Amino acid sequence: MDDVVDLLDSLIRPLLRLIVLLVRGLWWAAHDWIFETICWGTGWLVLRIVTLGRWPTVGIAEPHKMGDADAMLIALLGLAVLVASGYWFWP
């Protein structure tokens, strides 16, 4: 009986690890896409409107050309705008 349990454990454990690895990879990719694409774009647009086109100086598709702190600030502003607009406009 212990041999069967050991065999199943040796087969199932690597399969579960693979599934967890795939789920974590998909979660990371989705998070990265949402934060760097949607939040950055929203924050970039808001700041371009508020600063009358003066900041950020890079294009909307170029967050990698900003410093890390500035890019994070823009993305967090975009996230805040999205959350606030969802709070105010969601019925």
pLDDT tens per residue across span 2-23: 776 677 778 888 888 999 999 9
Cβ-contact 42, 76 below 8 angstroms? no
pTM higher than 0.85 for the full model? no
Residue 1 has pLDDT above 70, yes or no: no
Q: What is the pLDDT of residue 41?
A: 95
Q: What is the pLDDT of residue 29?
A: 92
